[in-house]
Amino acid sequence: MGLVSASFRAICTPPAPKGDPVPHRTIERRAFERRALAVPSSRLSRLAQLGGLASSIAGNVAAEVVGQLARGQRPRMEDLLLTPSNALKVADRLAQMRGAAMKVGQLISMDAGDMLPPELADILGRLRSEAHHMPLMQLRRVLTEAWGRDWQRRFEVFDAHPVAAASIGQVHRVRTTDGRDLAIKVQYPGVRRSIDSDVNNVASLMRMAGLVPKGVDVAPMIAEAKRQLHEEADYQREGRCLSTFGALLADRPEFRVPELHADLTTPNVLAMSYVEGVPVDNLADAPQAERDRVMTLMIGLIFRELFEFRLMQTDPNFANYRYSPATGQVMLLDFGATRAFPEDFADLYRRLLRAGLAGDRPGVRAAALEIGFLAGDTPARLEQAMLEIFEMSLEPLRQDGPFDFGASDLAVQMREAGMAMAQDHTYFRIPPMDTLFLQRKFGGIYMLATRMRARVDLRAIVEPHL
């Protein structure tokens, strides 16, 4: 089998006889196992995890009710549910479960983060960066199911320590016996078959915690979450999207997309070329010109995805982007959340932006109604507030020359306006799904540009597409 890394050999290392010194490899394995946690793979075990979480939160609420009543206070249910202690329980349990449950929690932390108290948003934000990985024996079983019993013979080196662990899978660096340096993404067991039940159970938990306004129909969002997560869990589909984006960006050497290795790719394992790089948000302390260039590339790519490709990687997680200081390339890593947009949808956004840049408020309103930002029964005061938020979002596009994300408090203004508008639960509406995913991607890139304190000429980027 050739030279195999110590961590990989540890999978097959037998226990040392009593009285003998413990081999170094066994010590390494024990240290590794302490950081690992098996993924609950059956529907029953995953339901039990969430059921236990709900009971624990209910116990916290009951204890707090008793305490407040004893102090002569009148408790409010939303204050009892949305506490740092309960948020920590939710984040920890979803991180242990991984799969669709953790993915939904990540989306909540991104979409609702600005509407929650900072201490709660920070706790839920951990879901975007913290995940356990599989113990070695569970990893071995998953790979045997995917590749057969003699899969080890294909590799000269297989590092069992994952280089990344996320909600649906973990990534390992390997070298095959024919010399390929690859990144292997391995899906956690049971993820695909538990998606529907996970989403239903987390949605129920959200309702119980008061994160869903009363009267709001979240059924379309739940159905869409299930559909997208089933797509993300299909690694062969992601491999096709990976190849498609590689071809679409073949004329742009500033970007690098890993190459698909189809011979090792299955529905639960994705094999692609390994690319070196640092997290893109590490550039926060890089020279101004370098930050400006990278964000100009990334923002330009969004508009090209919408108006030219009509195909977008809609997950705004910063971990999906890396940067090579040696080559200056931006590397695009995750295509599980790739979404196609209809041509008429892109045309509506063109109309919206044209009207906004021209200061045409009636034109903006008409396009916003067609897209679904506004509804025909939206009260005048709420419609006015929404249009004003849209006007704020256009400020960077209207400016001649570079917009300084680091010097602007626009993000704070929009957050405060959004929080004020969100208090009116009576007319809360979930926008069409295409719009929701597009806005999430725009919002994530805006957050990254603000963190990098970049200066970008947005008008010069968008005008060729209009």
Supply the mean pLDDT for the chain: 75
Last residue of a domain, one of 222, 248, 275: 275
Question: Residue 300: what residue type?
Answer: G
What is the rounded distance in angstroms from the CA atom of residue 393 to the CA atom of residue 410? 8
Task: Let me know if residue 157 belongs to a domain.
Answer: yes
For the stretch 109-132, pLDDT in tens is 444 444 455 555 555 555 555 566
pLDDT tens digits for 174-226? 999 999 999 999 998 888 887 887 777 777 766 665 555 565 666 777 787 78
pLDDT in tens, 239-275: 999 999 999 999 999 999 999 999 999 999 999 999 9
Cβ atoms 53, 85 nearer than 8 A:
no
82 is a domain residue: yes
Beta strands in 240-353 (DSSP E): 255-256, 269-273, 278-279, 311-313, 321-324, 329-332, 338-340
Q: Give the total number of structural domains in the chain.
A: 2
Stretch 146-153: mean pLDDT: 94
- Give 101-144 as a DSSP string: HHHHHHHHHHHSGGGS-HHHHHHHHGGGT---B--HHHHHHHHH
Least confident window among 158-162, 335-339, 389-393, 451-455: 389-393
The residue among 275, 295, 311 that closes a domain is 275
Residue 366: give the domain boundaries. 278-466
Q: Look up 377 and say whether it is catalytic.
A: no
Tell whether 301 and 448 lie within a shared domain.
Answer: yes
Same domain, 465 and 392: yes
Q: What is the pLDDT of residues 309-354, one digit of tens each?
A: 999 998 877 888 999 999 999 999 989 889 999 888 999 999 999 9
Assess if residue 16 is contained within a domain: no
- The answer, as to whether pTM is greater than 0.85, is no
Q: Based on the fold, state whether residues 308 and 404 are members of the same structural domain.
A: yes
Bridge partners, residue 155, by sequence: 176
Residues 204 and 286 in one domain: no
Q: Are 285 and 264 in a shared domain?
A: no
Return the H-helix or E-strand segment holding 88: helix 84-97
Name, of 9-13, 212-216, 421-425, 440-444, the range with top average pLDDT.
440-444
From 198, 292, 315, 434, active-site residue = 315
Who wins on pLDDT, 445 or 52? 445
Highest mean pLDDT among 91-95, 140-144, 216-220, 430-434: 140-144
18 is a domain residue: no
Q: Is 31 exposed, middle or buried (0-12, 13-18, 19+ CB in 10 A)?
A: exposed
- Of 221, 247, 275, which residue sits at a domain end? 275
At 335 the pLDDT is 93
Residues 174 and 33 in one domain: yes
